[in-house]
Amino acid sequence: MDILYQDEALLVINKPAGLSTLPDGYDSSLPHIKKLLEPGLGRLWIVHRLDKATSGVLLLARTAEAHKDINTQFERHQVIKVYHAIIIGQPNWKEKTIDLPLRPNGDRQHRTVIDQETGKPAVTRFKVLERLGEYCLVQAIPETGRTHQIRAHLSAVDLFILGDKLYGGRINLNLGNRLASIPLAVGFANLLAGSMALHARSLEITHPLTGDRRKFTAPYPDGFMAVHKQLCQFHAGM
């Protein structure tokens, strides 16, 4: 994995999809961020997490003091997180704020669900960046940090992230049949290597030592870029 930034207080990496942030609850022998990085970099504190199938900017603290400071910024909503996703579908809006309460582990598939009575407040701001035929590149800025928030909010308006089998269901499982008319050189599933097209693009915080605002940006992984390139080429040729 690539290190985007490091100093005595912070470590910022570009987490690859398929790698867990924390130890797996069922198999502790599986690799995770701390297990891979601490032998070479010393003790690390997890500040926030990304889903295993999500790539992108992940911030870790290198001291207890930095950990406390960044946690406080998250609690006060002073951290700006920006995600990019390739979604299936064409929303009838350019920008949209989804304000729907969420409850994690809300069904038999352990998905996060909309729950108006017992769910916790959750707000995500979406913006369409590119329209690419049956797909869109969208930006998502979560103002809260609920489990699977972006995926659950998109699902609530019948939009799904490419490769997200948990929330996309049959749409993502049957991509080959659904897109048989599109002459893609390589299947999307192969390009994404079993992951999904959700990428933590940037993270902005106040540095705990200097007080300066810092923004860290992670380049797209190869699979995400390959899918986007094919969609652009196909859309341009329509």
pLDDT of 86 strictly over 70: yes
Name every residue whose Cβ is closer than 8 Å to that of residue 195 and which is 6 or more positions away in sequence.
17, 18, 53, 55, 163, 223
Q: How is the chain split into domains, by residue range? A: 2-236
Name the average pLDDT for the chain: 88
Considering the entire predicted model, what is its pTM?
0.90
Q: Which of 53-67, 86-100, 222-236 has the lowest mean pLDDT?
A: 222-236
Run of H or E residues at 4? strand 2-6
Note the pLDDT of residue 182: 39
CATH class for the domain made up of 2-236: alpha beta
Name every residue whose Cβ is closer than 8 Å to that of residue 83 and which is 6 or more positions away in sequence.
54, 56, 139, 140, 141, 142, 150, 198, 199, 200, 201
CA distances from 202 to 232, 237, 238 (A): 23, 31, 32
Which residues does the annotation mark as catalytic?
51
pLDDT of 29 strictly over 80: no
